[in-house]
Structures are given as C-alpha cells and as structure tokens.
C-alpha cells in the first residue's frame, strides 16, 4: 500500500509533540517498522485526540496488516471529526465493507466518496458491489460437504472427472512439502489418483499408474465418458512442444493404462496447453491455451478428431465465453449442451468464479451465468464437474473444513444451473457364435435430426462399454465391426427420463443365413411409407452393403396380428420393398437383394399388448449368399 497521508503538507494539529510523534510514525512506516509506526501514531493521538492524519495513518497501517476491523475504528473516528476533510476515508471504508461482503454498506461509502470527487474506478466498484449483493443477499441453501478422508488428505486435491455410473472419481493430487506415505512419499510432482465408491463411500485412493504418473507434473485430466481414454496435461520439458502439453492414453484393463502419447502439433504449441475435456460425443476436445489468436490471457478452444485420428485446426469458443482475462477449466456435461468453466474476466464475486453457458445451435453459446454464492465467493473457484444425472456437483475449494490445502467437496446443484439429465447404457459386446468379447464401434444417433451425438468403442480386453443417454430425445444405437452384421437398438426418452440400463450385445458374424433385426426403420401407421427418422438406419444398411459387396440379402417384413392375415402379409412385403428400393436407388445392385413378407406369421412377442405388437412390427435382413467380391 502506498502511504497516502504522509504527503500532506498541512496537518490538522498545532500540538508540536503530536506532530513530532506523527513524523516518527511516518519514518517507521517508510522503514516497514509497522508496529513501531502504530505506537508513535497512538502517542500522537494521545497528545491530540482530534488529529485526523494520525487516525488515517493508523487506519492505513492496519489495512496493510490485514486488520480491517481496527482500521474501521480509526476511519470512523476521523469521519466523525470532519467528514469531508479527507474523502478517501469513505473510499477506504467502502473497500473494507466490500472485502467483508457487506456490499450495501460498501455502496453507501463509495457514494459518499464520489460526492466529493470523481473517480471512474470507484464508480465501477459500485456496479460490481451491486452485482455481488444480489448473490450474497439471497444465497442458495447448499450443503457443501467435504468428501472426507477417503479422498482428501493433507495434500491438495483437485477434482477432474467422474464416470457416468458414479462409481469412480478421478482427481489430481499435489503433495505438500512434507512426505505422505499414502502417496508413496511423493513431495515434488503432481499425479493422478482415483477412488471407487463402495456402500456410498469413497474408498482409499489408488494411483492411476506409472504409465501416466511420471517424475514430471501431471494434472488437469479428463476421462472419456466410456472410460476408455484419458486426456491430461503434463509438463515434460524438451519432450513436448511447449512448457505443458496435452497427452492421452488408452485403457488396457481395469487397473492398467497403456503408454501415453502427446496429441501432436495441431493441439500443442510452444504456448501453454492444459485442462482438456473430451466430450461425450467421442470426437470433440475442449482445452485451454494461451496461443495467439485468442481474446487475451488463457482461452477455451475446441478441436474435432477426424476419422483417421488426426485433429482439426482448433477453434476459439469466441467472445461470449472468452475474455481478456483467464478463462479456464472447461467441463462439457455429457448432455453435450451445458458448459461449465472458470473465469476471472466475466463479472464475478472475486478472483475466478464458476460460470455456466448452454449451447445454441452447433457453435454459439448463451451468455455465461455466474453460479453465485456460496458456490462462488471472493476467492478463486477453478474447477467443477457434474454427475450424469445433473444433480450433484463436485468442486475443489479451500476453507476452514479443509484437511489441508484444497479439498474436494460435493453439493446438490440448484435447479437453474442443472444440465439435461443423462443416463447410460452399459454392457459388453461379444461374438454371438464364439461368445468372445469384441472391440466394436458404438454410435448413438438422434433420430429426429440424424445427428450422431455419441461415438464410442467397447474395450478390447473385455468388450465392455458405457454410452451416455441424454434425456428428452429419441435415439438409435448402432454397433458395428468389420466381419459382422451391424446391431441396432432403439431408445425413446421423449416422454420419460432416461434411466440406467445394462445390455449385452451379440454381434452376428457374417455367414450364410445369419440375420439381424433393424430396430430403427419406421413406417407410417397402416402404410408402407417410410418415416424420415428411418434414414439413419437405412444409411447404415446401405454402408454395410457397400462394404460387403460379395453379400446377397433377403429383406424381410413382419407385422402384428391386427387385420387379416392376407392384408398383413401384403403390407409386410410392401414395406420390405420400400427398403429394397432405397438401397437400389443408392447404387446397390438389385440382384443382391430379394424381399419377402411374413405378415404375422413369425411373432417375437405377444400380440396381446401394444408393447408386444410394436416388437412384432419389424424389418429384418438375412444373408442368403456370400460370393467372392
């Protein structure tokens, strides 16, 4: 703090002893002998209790020592003697009230100060105080709970990711300067750990593994929603492109990760790249970079992974999200629409705050909303993640309940800041004949738009997968692998919330008489007219036929038992013909396809319920010949 009153030429006392003690107080303050300066100022006030400058210097020293309570007493006494002699006393009282989150008082003091002189910075401070006041006056009643010793320790814990089924929590541990046996006596570098939930409690953390954790700093990681890939920041010196780069690794099994790889020069530069978030769509990477072309400071960028594994040129998220300050820690919820991030450039409560923005169309974002107090406060809030259901949030913070440094806390997210609920489908993919697990590609397609919202893979070691299922839409799930018929499933969450599901998926090897049901081909009621949302499934069938040019298939139509048997048989044949025509119109040779209508002859469920009848109304394909391509 630069001394204010020491530059004053005219003092408000004629008492020579008081003036002498004041000069000694000034000299001691300049020499940073603060306690001695306070003693001399106190002696000056003893000689003249109306000595304004002695009150002000005492207040200034107390503020320098972070003792606002004592500073207020000196400032109030000075104002009581002469309210307008030193207007800065009102400003200082405003600053003290502001720091204490007493924003109404701060505004009052600032306005009194401005009545004596113009000051654009103080005028701006009034607007900031009024902004913060609305949060502190009406705080959400949140029970922010420390996760306890199963996760937190005397070290610093920074939350990074949680699996879709809430079973595993991943975080960065930054050790303090003292050894900690629980973390293998690491005292220098940051590493990754995870905790597993058992009986609603998080158990003792485990290191992610030596292929990820190195002698360098690793931090700010993100786990892909299917649990297969780990994206993280590591500062490996000459190995990287800059001071810190983004790396990734693939899971080998439940406890072992493969070798980590630098994402390359498209993502990483000589600048600072960090805090990756790999979206649930399985192809979009959000990250933070200080590279040129941004809005200033650190910005949030995104890049898309191409089919060959390379990355598109990163795009800045734009001025709605990024500011001239530090915009960091992006977390895109698995709903694919709701972005949480940290910023000190948007209007906040002090330091860095957590904000939320929702996607508008394909590339625009809504104006960020401050999550308010007590989620944010006048300190720094850096990172936050939200579970798939959108109800529970996790944040790293440092307060009186911390076990040491930063701890991880959880709380119920207020309704207005919740994303769309996301559930999940998990299971494993296997060969229908040999029963061996398979690595296969899974795609979740929103039927109304035809947009692929999730791309994922089952694991090589055990065939297991986990796919996000956003609420409120109708989806097709396509599972495919070379040498197999593709599998399709249908999910509708338009009038009901998505709930967790488990389903094992058998893939039929391409062989004679192998068949597969097409669950996402739809016709108008009592008609052979294809509904537009069938396009996704038809295109997958078209691609399958083009990739397997030596196959001949029979397209089979089936109906329920409503109506006469003859009518149903003809309707099913006409529907099969429509699928045949779609393929023929898109260059599949007609000789490779035949059609057959079975009507109600081969039900797969009861015709006594609507659900059963819906299952019976279906289209299937059967391999009738395998020729040399």
Average pLDDT over residues 73-100: 93
Q: 405: which 2 tokens?
A: 């440094």
pLDDT in tens, 583-602: 999 999 999 999 999 999 99
Average pLDDT over residues 502-507: 95
> Which pLDDT score is estimated for 182?
43
Q: Does 381 have pLDDT greater than 70? A: yes
Average pLDDT over residues 337-345: 94
Q: Does 579 have pLDDT greater than 50? A: yes
Average pLDDT over residues 127-135: 82
The rounded Cα 246 to chain-centroid distance in angstroms is: 17
Alpha carbon of 182 to those of 75, 154, 173, 595: distances in Å? Answer: 50, 10, 11, 66
Q: Does 352 have pLDDT greater than 80? A: yes
> Which pLDDT score is estimated for 532?
94
pLDDT in tens, 461-484: 999 999 998 888 899 999 999 999
Q: Of 388, 453, 373, whose CA–CA distance to 418 is shortest?
A: 388
The per-residue pLDDT of the chain, averaged, comes to: 90
**Does the reported pTM lie above 0.85?**
no
pLDDT in tens, 286-322: 999 999 888 888 999 999 999 888 999 999 999 999 9
Specify the residue for token string 């401005």: 114
> Which pLDDT score is estimated for 201?
87
Per-residue pLDDT band for 180 (boundaries 50, 70, 90) equals very low
pLDDT in tens, 611-627: 999 999 999 999 999 98
For 323, the 3-state DSSP assignment is coil
CB 593 within 8 A of CB 542: no
Work out the number of other CB atoms within 10 angstroms of the CB of residue 542: 16
* Secondary structure (H, E, C), 483-526: CECCEEEEEECCCCCCCCEECCEEECECCCCCEEEECCCCECCC
CB 317 within 8 A of CB 288: no
Higher per-residue confidence, 628 vs 425: 425
Q: Which domains does the chain have, with CATH numbers?
A: 5-137 (1.25.40.10), 149-417 (2.120.10.30), 421-509 (2.60.40.1120), 512-629 (3.30.1330.60)
Q: Does 628 have pLDDT greater than 80? A: no
Q: Does 10 have pLDDT greater than 90? A: no
Which residues does residue 412 pair with via DSSP β-bridges, in sequence order? 392
Q: Does 185 have pLDDT greater than 70? A: no
| Helix/strand/coil percentages in the chain, nearest 5 | 25, 30, 45
| DSSP string of 324-383, one letter each residue | SS-EEEEEE-TTSSEEEEEESSSS-SSSSEEEEEEEETTTEEPPPEE--TTTS-SS----
Burial class of 452 by CB neighbour count within 10 A (0 to 12, 13 to 18, 19+) = middle
CB 593 within 8 A of CB 584: yes
Q: Does 271 have pLDDT greater than 50? A: yes
> Which pLDDT score is estimated for 186?
43
> Which pLDDT score is estimated for 188?
53
The angle that helices 88-99 and 120-137 make with each other, rounded to 10 degrees, is 30
> Which pLDDT score is estimated for 534?
95
> Which pLDDT score is estimated for 183?
46
Average pLDDT over residues 554-563: 95
Q: Does 400 have pLDDT greater than 70? A: no
Average pLDDT over residues 160-182: 79
> Which pLDDT score is estimated for 629?
59
> Which pLDDT score is estimated for 584?
97
């Amino acid at each position: 703090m630069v001394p204010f009153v020491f530059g004053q030429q005219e003092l408000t006392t004629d008492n020579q002893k008081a003036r002498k003690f004041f000069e000694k107080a000034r000299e001691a303050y300049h020499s940073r002998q603060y306690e001695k300066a306070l003693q001399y100022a106190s002696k000056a006030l003893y000689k003249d209790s109306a000595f304004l400058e002695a009150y002000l210097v005492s207040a200034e020293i107390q503020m320098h020592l972070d003792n606002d309570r004592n500073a207020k007493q000196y400032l109030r006494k000075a104002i009581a003697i002469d309210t307008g002699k030193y207007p800065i006393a009102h400003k200082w009282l405003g600053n003290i009230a502001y720091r204490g989150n007493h924003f109404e008082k701060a505004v009052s003091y600032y306005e009194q100060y401005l009545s004596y002189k113009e000051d654009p910075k103080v005028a701006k401070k009034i607007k900031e105080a009024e902004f913060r006041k609305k949060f502190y006056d009406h705080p959400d009643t949140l029970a922010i709970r420390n996760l306890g010793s199963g996760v937190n320790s005397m070290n610093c814990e920074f939350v990074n990711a949680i699996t879709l089924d809430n079973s595993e929590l991943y975080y960065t541990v930054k050790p303090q300067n003292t050894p900690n046996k629980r973390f293998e006596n690491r005292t220098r570098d940051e590493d990754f750990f995870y905790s597993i939930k058992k009986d609603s409690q998080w158990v003792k953390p485990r290191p992610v593994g030596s292929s990820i954790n190195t002698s360098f700093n690793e931090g700010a990681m993100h786990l892909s929603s299917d649990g297969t890939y780990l994206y993280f920041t590591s500062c490996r010196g000459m190995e990287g492109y800059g001071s810190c780069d983004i790396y990734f690794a693939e899971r080998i099994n439940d406890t072992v990760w493969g070798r980590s790889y630098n994402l390359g020069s498209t993502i990483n530069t000589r600048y600072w790249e960090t805090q990756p978030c790999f979206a649930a769509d399985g192809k979009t990477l959000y990250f933070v970079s200080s590279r040129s072309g941004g809005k200033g400071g650190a910005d949030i960028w995104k890049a898309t992974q191409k089919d060959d594994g390379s990355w598109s040129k990163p795009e800045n998220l734009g001025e709605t999200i990024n500011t001239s300050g530090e915009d960091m820690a992006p977390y895109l919820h698995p709903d694919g629409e709701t972005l949480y991030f940290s910023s000190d450039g948007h209007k906040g409560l002090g330091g860095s705050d957590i904000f939320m923005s929702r996607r508008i169309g394909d590339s625009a974002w809504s104006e960020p909303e401050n999550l308010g107090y007590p989620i944010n406060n006048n300190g720094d809030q850096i990172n936050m993640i939200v579970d798939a259901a959108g109800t529970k949030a996790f944040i790293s913070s440092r307060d009186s309940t911390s076990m040491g440094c930063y701890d991880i806390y959880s709380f119920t997210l207020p309704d207005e800041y919740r994303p769309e609920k996301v559930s999940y489908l998990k299971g494993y993919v296997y060969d229908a004949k040999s029963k061996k697990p398979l690595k296969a590609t899974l795609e979740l397609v929103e039927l109304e738009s035809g947009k692929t919202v999730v791309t994922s893979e089952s694991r090589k070691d055990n065939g297991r997968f986990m796919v996000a299922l956003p609420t409120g839409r109708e989806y097709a799930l396509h599972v495919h692998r070379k040498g197999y018929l593709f599998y399709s499933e249908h999910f509708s969450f338009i009038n009901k919330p998505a709930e967790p599901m488990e389903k094992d998926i058998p893939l039929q090897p391409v062989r004679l008489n192998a068949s597969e049901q097409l669950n996402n081909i739809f016709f108008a009621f009592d008609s052979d007219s294809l509904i537009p949302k069938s396009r996704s499934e038809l295109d997958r069938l078209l691609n399958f036929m083009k990739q397997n040019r030596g196959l001949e298939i029979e397209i089979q139509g089936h109906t329920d038992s409503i109506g006469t048997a003859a009518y149903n048989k003809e309707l099913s044949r006409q529907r099969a013909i429509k699928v045949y025509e779609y393929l023929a119109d898109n260059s599949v040779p007609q000789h490779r396809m035949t059609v057959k209508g079975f009507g109600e002859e081969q039900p797969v469920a009861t015709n006594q319920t609507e659900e059963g009848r819906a299952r019976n109304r279906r289209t299937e394909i059967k391999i009738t010949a395998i020729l040399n391509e």
